[in-house]
Structure 1
């Protein structure tokens, strides 16, 4: 997983990038929580889930985190960082036909906003999206199918808040929202990482298998 430094809107951004294993490989970008870094264990799991399946995969530190320049910007600048990261990825993967975004907590919120702005994103994974802390009203309508996972005992992101978001998204046509609740799991899935990983990997496999050959 080679270290990369690429230009962001407010200075250099630090990341880890794994090229795809085949021509025209799909692309995935992984977004971290706040506070947190690209080395967060859930972010790392998401990154590995995509790299193992041959995706060109990038995880990176938002502005002001690690060696990334700039300062925390309450989501506005971080969304610009994510867009710049995707632009950078596309320079090296111009023929990629499929793009995914995955994020944990704050990163899930940023990822869903990126999804609304970039029509090439066809799949998403949101782990513990903070629907009780941030406004997800911009998902009108949500343009892509995806997976939402939360812990039943999450002390940061309320299960009810996530359920309201899921219920709203499931009323929309032409997309499918898969929702999984991990019983006993807190915000960090400390004892349920194996189960979380299985849900993520099974979802990616199912979506990729359904694509036309």
Structure 2
């Protein structure tokens, strides 16, 4: 999987780009957790989401936000990171101009950024939000949420509390024209640390959901 460097708003951004042979393949970007708390594109959840999309036939890009790894710039409270995500999507689209479907997936802080990107980019047809920190960040910008997607979290998450995630899901359920699917992984913490009991079921849930959406879109 080639390392890539592409232009961001504050200089170069470092990514991992995994193309399909099919030029019409759908595309996805995967966004990592909080840069100030050790979040990088090599986070285990992000890595597993990346490969889940690739195995489903997507051309996938994950990257480091500004100030992380070899990406230039400094942490910018989510404002600059949203611009980074937009630049990453621009880069991915420029390389895959025939893609009919575009997805965004994010974990924790990355889920918050991903949902904001969703509001800005009408071409995004689906999203995966893993452990969105609805107790730390304001998600009220999702009014209305423009696309259907999956929100998934662990019942033992002490970082992004399940109660706040459920409240977010309930608000989104009230909106017409979209379907929010919500799944909780029993006993999982914020990082889905237990591979067999939590990480694998979480990734299987994501894969099943995305596969179903692609099948429905092709009918």
TM-score, length basis structure 2: 0.96
2:2 alignment counterpart:
2
2:203 alignment counterpart:
197
Partners in 2 of 1:151 and 1:47 — Cα distance? Answer: 19
What SS does the aligned partner of 1:6 have?
A: strand
Q: Give the drift of 1:209.
A: 1.0
Partners in 2 of 1:143 and 1:169 — Cα distance? Answer: 10
Deviations 1:38-75 (A, max 9, x none): 00000001000111122110000000000000000010
1:125 alignment counterpart:
128
Q: Give the drift of 1:95.
A: 1.4
User: What is the correspondence of 1:6-25 to structure 2 with a 5 Å cutoff?
Assistant: 6-25=6-25
Structure 1: 4+ residue segments shifted above 6 A:
none
Conserved 8 A contact 1:4-1:14: yes
2:217 alignment counterpart:
211
What SS does the aligned partner of 1:211 have?
A: helix
Q: Structure 2: state its 5+ residue gaps.
A: none
Q: Give the drift of 1:23.
A: 2.2
Q: Structure 1: state its 5+ residue gaps.
A: none
Match for residue 86 of structure 1 among 84, 89, 97:
89
Partners in 1 of 2:218 and 2:111 — Cα distance? Answer: 28
Q: Give the drift of 1:24.
A: 1.2
Q: Does 1:149 align with 2:155?
A: no
Equivalent pairs counted in the alignment come to 213
Conserved 8 A contact 1:20-1:26: no
Q: Give the drift of 1:195.
A: 0.8
TM-score, length basis structure 1: 0.98
Q: Does 1:51 align with 2:54?
A: yes
2:70 alignment counterpart:
67
2:138 alignment counterpart:
135
Q: Which has the higher helix share?
A: 2
Q: Does 1:116 align with 2:119?
A: yes
Deviations 1:165-209 (A, max 9, x none): 000000111111000011111100111111111111111111111
